[in-house]
Amino acid sequence: MKQRKFQPPCSKLTFKVLSERDIVKIHEAALEVMEEAGVRFPSSRALDVLEEAGCSVNRETMVAKLPSDLVIKTLRQAPTRFLLAGRDSKDDLWIDDRTSHLSTDGCAVDVYDINTGKLRRSKKQDIVNACKLADYLPEISYIWGPPVSAQDIPAHIRPLHEIEASMNGTTMHIQPETVITHEIAHFALEMAAVVAGGKEKLRRRPLFSYMQCATDPLGQDGGSLDASMVAAEWGIPTGFMPMPMSCATAPATLAGNLVVTTVDAVSPLVLMQLVNPGTPVYFAAAPTAIDIKTGGYTGGGPEDFLLAAAFSEICHFYQIPLAVGGFATGAKLPDWQAAVDNSFAGLMPVLTNTSIINGAGTLNGSKIFSLQALIMDAEIYSIIAKTSQGIEVNDDTLAVDLIKKVGPGGNFLADKHTRKCMRDIWQPVVYDRKPYGQWEESGRRGAFEEATELARWVIENHEVEPLEEGVKKEFAAIIKRADQELGK
């Protein structure tokens, strides 16, 4: 099958949720909250660093109050552009705050089995397959995740197996979210250093970056903080993902939610810049609202779409790249609801030039992974990317001479201009555009069936450059050591 080309979108359309004044108001509100209420950093090391920098620290509650001038100073130290390197340099991504990259989602616990169609618990091999498919799909820029949890592996070494499985499936950049303790972070970085060819080379070409979750509202997770301080020393990019849910972990009002999101994204950045000034830290966020009927996570809906776009605008104000959660539909199947959710959740961040959109391939609020959904999400993204290019208006595109030449009642079908420009018109991969009769004859095959066939083909045929034998051996040795040390 011919490999398609895809250019990650850098939207030419403009779209705004917040006014400049709104953004400044939210920024000032966040500063006030960080200075007066403070943020919980449940790590004694983190509190030491913050106290030394002039924050007032309460050791009992583990809350640090961050002075506004410190926040503003450290925000300036974070780079506005950084590299997420691939195992293969053709997969390198320069993250700026204009171009939008789509990643897989992490970290689902169930999968729809591609052969049986049935729901089952995820395993290590599912990570390899998911990464392989992501590697094949040009719309997917890197692996956030792992896409699913390797639940057939003992918990204490699971994150390391997940990294190994991801690397077996792709040469793209890998951003694990399951490395959430100090100890595991060291082992994980050792693995990355083996592939990069040493610690120094890894610093220059980070094959790895981390994504840590915040504990909203106004809090971070201790293990994650410790893991990211290790990352900062190694020069590995880290993002912190607040996920405030309006009505539960954030005010019901979306503006209030944005204040909490800003505090929980900015406050760990302050810490990281203090640990290692200039270390790449990006913002991440998946702000949402609860389902007020059940209290559950929704994974979509208009609040999510607005919050994502608005927080993206706030991040442009800070000139720090943002990874936003999207494509995390609450639908149980890749159906109408999934398409509605994921179209909006992809479009809004692209139109606001968000750097990274995390989340392709899952259903049921990131709990179920589906290979078909990954393909269908990639297709949605390619529609969005094309749409975001807008319409170029110049003499050539106006084609006035051509229109006059063809004249009333003529057609443009075989004209040279048509043949030259027609390849700019979007082409589907799984979208169904068959005439009705052919659709009937095909056994009513739609996008899902096409995606199933493609997924099977890719798993069977797509070749990914394997890890070198030496690397595999060193991985095994590191994992063995981790097992002995952490498995007690």
Span 370-429, contacts to other proteins by CB under 8 A: none
DSSP bridge pairs for 438: none
Minimum distance from CB of 366 to other proteins (Å)? Answer: 9
In DSSP notation, 74-102 reads: HHHHS-S-EEE--SSGGG-EEE-SSS-EE
Q: How far is the CB of 185 from other proteins (least distance, A)?
A: 14
Residues that bind other proteins (rule: CB under 8 A) add up to a total of 27
Q: What are phi and psi of 290, to 5 degrees?
A: -75, 160
Residues written for the chain: 488
> Three-state DSSP class for 457?
helix
Decide: is 126 part of the binding site for other proteins (CB under 8 A).
no
Could you give the string, one character per residue 76-105, with x where binding to other proteins holds by CB under 8 A and - elsewhere? ------------------------------
Q: Least Å distance between CB 229 and other proteins?
A: 18
User: Which residues between 14 and 53 bind other proteins (CB under 8 A)?
Assistant: 42
Q: Which is nearer to other proteins, 224 or 262 (CB)?
A: 224
Site for other proteins in 218-247 (CB under 8 A): 221-222, 245, 247
Provide the minimum distance between the beta carbon of 160 and other proteins in the complex, in angstroms, as a whole number.
Answer: 12
Collapsed DSSP state (helix, strand, coil) of residue 220: strand
Q: Is 487 in the site for other proteins (CB under 8 A)?
A: no
Integer Cα distance of 354 and 99 in angstroms: 7
CB of 478 to other proteins, least distance (A): 19
Q: Please pick, from the candidates 292, 421, 422, 477, the single residue that binds other proteins as defined by CB under 8 A.
A: 292
Q: Give the list of residues 6+ apart from residue 41 with CB closer than 8 angstroms, or none.
A: 47, 50, 62, 63, 64, 219, 220, 222, 225, 267, 271
Position 109 contacts other proteins (CB under 8 A): yes
Considering beta carbons, is residue 227 or 348 the nearer one to other proteins? 227
When the beta carbons of 144 and 282 are compared against other proteins, the nearer one is 144
Task: Tell me if the bond preceding 131 is cis, omega within 30° of 0.
Answer: no
Give the nearer residue to other proteins in terms of CB position, either 162 or 304.
162
- Give the pairing type, strands 368-369 and 362-363: antiparallel
Residue 296 near other proteins by CB under 8 A: yes
Nearer to other proteins, 14 or 294 (CB): 294
- Check binding of 367 to other proteins (CB under 8 A): yes
3-state secondary structure of 212: strand
Asked whether position 68 contacts other proteins by CB under 8 A, the answer is no
- Decide if residue 444 touches other proteins (CB under 8 A): no
Six token digits for residue 403: 């229109």
Among the listed residues 105, 110, 164, 304, the single contact to other proteins using CB under 8 A? 110
CB of residue 223 to other proteins, shortest distance in Å: 8
Name the minimum Å distance from CB 108 to other proteins: 9
Considering the complex, what minimum distance in angstroms separates the CB of residue 290 from other proteins? 7
The answer to whether 248 contacts other proteins (rule: CB under 8 A) is yes
- Rule CB under 8 A: say whether 205 interacts with other proteins: no
DSSP letters, 384-453, are HHHHHT----SHHHH-HHHHHHH-TT---TT-HHHHHHGGGS---SS-----HHHHHHTTS--HHHHHHH
Q: Which is nearer to other proteins, 121 or 204 (CB)?
A: 121
CB of 152 or CB of 424, closer to other proteins: 152
Q: Give me the least distance between CB of 120 and other proteins, in Å please.
A: 9
List the helix and strand counts (H, then E) for the chain.
18, 19
For other proteins, the closer of residues 38 and 86 by Cβ is 38
- Report if residue 158 touches other proteins, rule: CB under 8 A: yes
Q: Any idea of the CA torsion for 269, 275, 279, 281, to the nearest 10 degrees?
A: -20
Residue 477 binds other proteins, judged by CB under 8 A? no
- Of 4, 12, 59, 121, the residue at the interface with other proteins (CB under 8 A) is 121
Q: 87 or 367, CB closer to other proteins?
A: 367
Q: Is 337 exposed, middle or buried (0-12, 13-18, 19+ CB in 10 A)?
A: middle
3-state secondary structure of 27: helix
- Residues contacting 271, CB < 8 A, separation 6+: 41, 46, 49, 50, 225, 229
Q: Taking the CA atoms of the chain, what radius of gyration do you get in angstroms?
A: 23
Distance, in Å, from the CA atom of 82 to the CA atom of 232, rounded to the nearest integer, reads 14
> Would you state the structure tokens that stand for residue 312, as one six-digit string?
């993206």
Cβ-based nearer residue to other proteins, 119 or 471: 119
Interior/surface letters 260-290, b for 16+ CB within 10 angstroms, e for the rest: bbbbbbbbbbbbbbbbbeebbbbbbbbbbbb
Nearer to other proteins, 222 or 326 (CB): 222
The residue with tokens 């640990």 is: 275
Q: Which is nearer to other proteins, 249 or 279 (CB)?
A: 249
Euclidean distance between CA atoms 61 and 64, whole angstroms:
9
Nearer to other proteins (CB atom), residue 404 or residue 488? 488
Residues found near other proteins in the complex (CB under 8 A): 42, 107, 109-110, 121, 149, 151, 155, 158, 178, 215, 221-222, 245, 247-249, 252, 290-297, 367
